[in-house]
Chain A
Amino acid sequence: MKTLFPQLAHRPRAAYAATAILAIALAVLPLIVGLAGNAWVRMLDFALLYVMLALGLNIVVGYAGLLDLGYVAFYAVGAYMYALLASPHLMENFEWIAQLFPDGLHSSIWMVVPLGAALAATFGVLLGAPTLRLRGDYLAIVTLGFGEIIRIFLNNLNAPLNITNGPQGISNIDPVRIAGVNFARPIEIAGFELQSVQLYYYLFLILAIGVIVVSIRLQDSRIGRAWVAIREDETAAKAMGINTRNVKLLAFAMGASFGGISGAMFSAFQGFVSPESFVLMESIVIVAMVVLGGMGNVPGVILGAVLLYAIPETLRFIAKPIQEAIFGTEVVAPEALRMLLFGLAMVVIMLYRPAGLWPAAVHGRALVPADQSGSGDAHATRPGGGETR
């Protein structure tokens, strides 16, 4: 509770009440939105997937300060892993797999989530290992290349062995099944019908909460401090005895694992994956979510993810009617408008809120030390006058 509402830390009852209200709001949200149509609930589901992705990237970019422009690769790794393990694709192409699994290849979510996390983490280390000496722009270029390599592999691994089915992608992917409940079909609970998209919403919400808890706990830990120390000054971090190689690889692995989980969920939710979903633009959008929201600050990153996902989606619904109302015809396509607004948002944020919409709170930035008045001794100089570098 304390970490959820830091400003209510000294009022535990208020913090509990706020948490309860938030929990109820999140639980009721898909039911209310569902009244407007399943398409809107579907957007909520995707927003949650993006929250997970942005929080994963936040570990790499926000905490450890390693600019990663190929993050969508881990999303792709998770998505394709689930697609291969829970669709007829492999069985149709490989005789021996069909013989091995006469009932068809189906994988339980309990296995897929940890496996997706582990596989993506492995890829994270694979990307991290050769880039340990790189920083900033150079790292961004290499990671960008890595993201493209993964996508191009997925696009071309249909010959000589058809593993990924190339640009056609993999279809007929199993939906999530938990305790016999098939998430692809509506279920009835006490006379009330829950749609498939609503079921997925609750699943994604639970996973997202898990990712949030992990993010917050890591932030205030020995490892989290080591990440931030590396971001702030790698040489000094090394001199403090931090094994920067291992700690950086850990950041890549942790960040990637979140991407792997949400990729697997994306795959199950859509029932279809193709390389087209994992283009460079996706990576850039996820970086934008982290940067615009507030690097390193969990609530900020969540806000960034939701806003940057919701605004273009909303635009898709309202851009045409608005333009028709004003100009009588559609002047700019929603897709072009989206890029225009993205660019505009970037410029405005960088000019007016360079630390993001909701930057990490600095504890005590406004504090005045209790005994400030008696600054007789030499070292009691006032903080803030410290620009004497």
Chain B
Amino acid sequence: MTAATSSQCVDDGTPLSHPSAMLLVNGVNKRFGGLQALSDVGMDIRRGEIYGLIGPNGAGKTTFFNVITGLYTPDSGSFVLDGQPYEPTAVHTVAQAGIARTFQNIRLFGEMTALENVMVGRHVRTRSGVWGAVLKTRAERNEEAGIRQRSLELLDYVGIGRYANFQARTLSYGDQRRLEIARALATDPKLLALDEPAAGMNATEKLSLRSLLEHIRDDGKTILLIEHDVKLVMGLCNRVTVLDYGRQIAQGEPAKVQRDPAVIEAYLGASHD
């Protein structure tokens, strides 16, 4: 499968079993009826980088995203997350394994406050149950205090600490995006997967989102970014993969990929005639 992958993409020469790989994906196939949505897609996302996944509409970006986050079961493919074999079978085990996601169409817990939203993100890293809550055991109280503390820190971190007690649905669009990122960060992810975080943002909001993502990367997180906005991806990502009709047509550093004739033809060419 490795051979097949490298034969169709412009790799930057790194072997796929790079020791610093955070997520290693090999030979993912997914078919919906007569449509081959993903054919033999593979990538290695390295520790501490922002990895971009771009492609025109219907290229299979979201399908790939749903495969690695457990929403779809791939027909074939292997995954290694942080050196451990990783099976994205059930959605709720994905966060446990260390991949946290945001949604293209923001999915917050609208009636809950911003703080509570982030506190929900801590669920997977905490363990109190009904008895702890009912008896208010010391362990439960300590854990609750820890959850609250960490969640407030994360709200400050993404820059919306002052809205901690506001209902999530009353926040502005850009702040809702930030809240979603804070909630995902609360799960202590190894890989933060963002599905079109800049969708619907204006230029100023995009700029501040970009600096936030850079900030998160500089703090050591690995980010997988699916994005429509080529300019944002090219400026932000360390490396990118370009998908078209479910195939990888290019892979590597943005500057190189941008010059790739296949990419220009399939995607950039279409929009930069």
As a 0/1 sequence over residues 41 to 71 of chain B, the CB contacts with chain A under 8 angstroms (1 = contact) are 0000000000000000000000000000100
Are the C-beta atoms of A388 and B200 separated by less than 8 Å?
A: yes
Interface residues of B in 162-182 (CB under 8 A from A): 162-167, 169-176, 178
Answer yes or no: B187 CB below 8 A from chain A CBs: yes
Known contacts: A242-B124, A378-B208. The answer to whether A233 contacts B172 by CB under 8 A is no
Answer yes or no: B250 CB below 8 A from chain A CBs: no
Are the C-beta atoms of B95 and A239 separated by less than 8 Å?
A: yes
Interface residues of B in 108-137 (CB under 8 A from A): 108-113, 116, 119-124, 126, 128-130, 132-134, 136
Chain B interface size, under 10 / 10 to 19 / 20 to 34 / 35 or more = 35 or more
Q: What's the Cα separation between A369 and B156 when bound, in Å? A: 14
Answer yes or no: A228 CB below 8 A from chain B CBs: yes
Please give the distance in Å from B9's CB to the nearest CB on chain A.
Answer: 29
Are the C-beta atoms of A225 and B92 separated by less than 8 Å?
A: no
Q: Nearest chain-B residue to A215 (Cβ)?
A: B134
Q: What's the Cα separation between A382 and B106 when bound, in Å? A: 18
- Residue in A221, A369, A378, A379 whose Cβ sees the most chain B Cβ within 10 Å: A379
Q: What's the Cα separation between A210 and B151 when bound, in Å? A: 30
Are the C-beta atoms of B178 and A379 separated by less than 8 Å?
A: yes
Partner of A381, one of B101, B174, B187: B174
Please give the distance in Å from B167's CB to the nearest CB on chain A.
Answer: 5
Answer yes or no: B8 CB below 8 A from chain A CBs: no
Q: List the A side residues contacting B95 at CB < 8 Å.
A: 239-241
Interface residues of B in 156-209 (CB under 8 A from A): 159-160, 162-167, 169-176, 178, 183, 187, 200, 204-205, 207-208
Answer yes or no: B4 CB below 8 A from chain A CBs: no
- Residue in B110, B123, B132, B171 whose Cβ sees the most chain A Cβ within 10 Å: B123
Interface residues of B in 76-123 (CB under 8 A from A): 91-96, 100-101, 103, 105-113, 116, 119-123
Q: List the B side residues contacting A231 at CB < 8 Å.
A: 111
Q: What DSSP secondary structure best describes chain B's contact surface?
A: helix
Q: What's the Cα separation between A384 and B176 when bound, in Å? A: 12
Are the C-beta atoms of A379 and B159 separated by less than 8 Å?
A: yes
Please give the distance in Å from A38's CB to the nearest CB on chain B.
Answer: 35
Are the C-beta atoms of A233 and B130 separated by less than 8 Å?
A: no
Are the C-beta atoms of B133 and A222 separated by less than 8 Å?
A: yes
Known contacts: A362-B113, A388-B173. The answer to whether A242 contacts B204 by CB under 8 A is no
Q: List the B side residues contacting A243 at CB < 8 Å.
A: 92
Q: Nearest chain-A residue to B160 (Cβ)?
A: A379
Are the C-beta atoms of B204 and A221 separated by less than 8 Å?
A: no
Known contacts: A369-B163, A386-B170, A386-B171. The answer to whether A218 contacts B134 by CB under 8 A is yes
- Residue in A237, A241, A242, A383 whose Cβ sees the most chain B Cβ within 10 Å: A241
Give the segment of B14-22, B140-148, B260-268 that binds chain A: B140-148
Are the C-beta atoms of B130 and A250 separated by less than 8 Å?
A: yes
Are the C-beta atoms of B175 and A381 separated by less than 8 Å?
A: yes
Are the C-beta atoms of B103 and A236 separated by less than 8 Å?
A: yes
Q: Nearest chain-B residue to A244 (Cβ)?
A: B92
Interface residues of A in 237-256 (CB under 8 A from B): 237-244, 250, 254
Are the C-beta atoms of B107 and A222 separated by less than 8 Å?
A: no
Q: List the A side residues contacting B166 at CB < 8 Å.
A: 364-365, 367, 383
Q: List the A side residues contacting B96 at CB < 8 Å.
A: 241
Are the C-beta atoms of B176 and A222 separated by less than 8 Å?
A: no
Are the C-beta atoms of B175 and A386 separated by less than 8 Å?
A: yes
As a 0/1 sequence over residues 353 to 372 of chain A, the CB contacts with chain B under 8 angstroms (1 = contact) are 00000000011110101110
Are the C-beta atoms of A363 and B165 separated by less than 8 Å?
A: yes
Answer yes or no: A224 CB below 8 A from chain B CBs: yes
Q: What's the Cα separation between A388 and B202 when bound, in Å? A: 12
Partner of B133, one of A224, A236, A369, A386: A224
Please give the distance in Å from A39's CB to the nearest CB on chain B.
Answer: 36
Partner of A383, one of B110, B122, B171: B171
Are the C-beta atoms of A382 and B144 separated by less than 8 Å?
A: no
Answer yes or no: A217 CB below 8 A from chain B CBs: yes
Q: Can you name 7 A-B pairs with beta carbons within 8 Å?
A: A222-B144, A223-B133, A241-B187, A243-B92, A378-B204, A378-B205, A381-B174
